[in-house]
Every structure is written in C-alpha cells, then in structure tokens.
Amino acid sequence: MDKIAILCSGGDSCGMNPAIKRFVEYSFSKNLQPYFVYGGYEGLIDNKIQEATYADVTGIIHRGGTKIYSSRSKRFKEKKYRDIAAKNLKNLGITKLVVLGGDGSFRGIDIFFQEHKISFCGIPATIDNDINGTQYCLGVDTALNVIKVATDNIRDTAASFKRAFVIEVMGKGCGYLALVSALTSGAEMCLIPEIPYDLEALKKRYLKEIDQGRNYFIAIVAEGLDNAKEIALWFEKEIGFESRVTTLGHIQRGGNPTVRERLMAYQFATYAIDALSEGKTNAVICYNNGAFDFKNIDEVNAKKYEIDENLLELGKCLLNK
C-alpha cells in the first residue's frame, strides 16, 4: 500500500476532526495506508508519526479542535529542521501529505515541497476565512454560529439595561467574521480593517436613531483593530450610553461542528486524497461559487485574501453614515 499522512498546522478549527475521520476511512477505501502526524510541523520534526486505524477516528466527528493536535512551528522555518522532517517521512515510506491549515501553513509546505518534492494537498482550515483563492475555509461556519449565539444572548441584556455592547471577535488581519456576524445579527456597528470608519458620521446617525426610539446598541469589531475599549468609551462619551466590552476569544474556535462544516470537511478530505492519487503534487483544494477546484500553491500564496466586494458593500452602512 502507498502511504499517506495528514497533519494540522496553525490555529485549530472545527471541521478538522470530521476531515481527519474522512481521511482515514477514504484512504483505506483507496488502498492507501493512512498516517497521523501528531502536533503539526513540530511532529514532523520530532517524528511523531503513527499509522492510523478506524479505531482512531471513532467518535470524533462531533468534536471541535483536532485529535492529532496542532502547532505553530518556529523550527520548521529553518532548513535544517525541514530536512529532518523530510527524512522522517522518507524513512517511513510516506510519499503523500495532506495539510490542514492557513496562510502560514501553506507557505511552509510550499518551501518544503520545493526542497524535498514530497507531494501534498492543502485543505484551507482557519476560522478567519482568509485564504486567497477559496471562499470557504474549514471552521468558519461553526465559528460564525458560536458568535451568533453569543451575540443573541448579549442582545438580551443590552436591551434590558439600555446599554451599548462592543463585541470583539477574532480576525487579526481579516474582518470576515466580524462583517458576516454583524450583518446576520442585526448589529448597529461593524468595524473591520478593510473599511475606514467615520465616528462623526456614525454619531450623527445614532443620535437621530435614538430620537426615533433606538435604546441599545450592538457593535461588532475585529480584534485586529485593537479598539474595543476605545469604542466602548466613545459610546459613553459621545452617544451617552453605558457600555460594556465582551471579548469572545477562543470560544470561537471550539464547539460542535455544524452540519455544513461536517459536509465540507467530508468533501475537502475526499478531494485532497483524490488529487494526490491522481498525481497532483502541490495543490490546494478550494471552494468557489458552489464548486470545488484545485489551485497550485503558488496561486494561493500569490496575494493576500480579500473579502468579496459585494459583502463589503453590504457592510458599509455599519461603518459610516
């Protein structure tokens, strides 16, 4: 049997475990021996590579995070450690690798492939949904649903006390989570790195809305702006509303994967194995306009992800007048 391995790199995301389950089961159906790399690129370096069995993936489809652990490996940035990782794979006879991760993970595996020619297929997996070339990354749907529940709960107390609540969500360099959450939760404000905001224009609008009966505010801001406390203070000083800040933090990464997440994971893992079985060597499986397609890693890494213009246009009313 040919041997194929899977690893998770970078931040964990819901959907990883369903993808791992499908990876094992589909590998066996394709006459491939699956292996787990425990701990991402760190595990490659430390030779934490083991054969996977059906028993390993029993009962994991409903769990968040990743059974095989993840890491952000500084050592993998150094050639001497990448050489060790390649030697470990070659000693076991593993010639194919599936990588679940984000932008940094894909840049790392691209360099690894150029140096050692170990075939790989990347599966976009990050709740930030910020991988160029794909409209969907594993983890984003579950994260959005976690934010939805939290925001709906916060709205109850905001309305009861006539307060402004500033909710900070993840997204250091990308405002996708904040934007979609704001649009789908009925927030009055959304601040993201991609769109300049105008507090003076918002102040005029909010004061007018208060005269017309608005008595609480929900503001959703991306963590990359690092301004949640500043905005809460602005609501108190300029709008006259008692304010609170809620930072959702890492609860956005965990939880029970949604139905959509599980289905997408199933399909991502299937297409990744098919790609490697068909001879693709350095591809990323992407999802766009309702269909899966393969992109060369160079195309995915070529530029920074940009939120769809139509989505940004919808959000502009939450950032300015």
Exposed/middle/buried for residue 180 (C-beta within 10 Å: 0-12, 13-18, 19+) = buried
Cα distance between residue 190 and residue 172, in whole Å: 15
Which of 12, 128, 130, 141 is labelled catalytic? 128
Contact 139, 33 (CB under 8 A): no
Kindly state the tokens that stand for 24: 């094992």
In whole angstroms, what is the distance from residue 87 CA to residue 81 CA? 10
What is the side-by-side order of every strand in the sheet holding 189-191?
189-191, 217-222, 164-169, 243-247
The answer to whether 128 is a known catalytic residue is yes
Query: In this structure, are residues 184 and 151 in contact, taking their beta carbons and an 8 Å threshold?
Result: no
Sign of the CA dihedral with 72 first, then 78, 82, and 85 last: negative
Residue 168 in tokens: 């900070």
- Distance between CA atoms of 116 and 82, rounded to whole angstroms? 9
Which residues have a catalytic role annotated?
A: 128
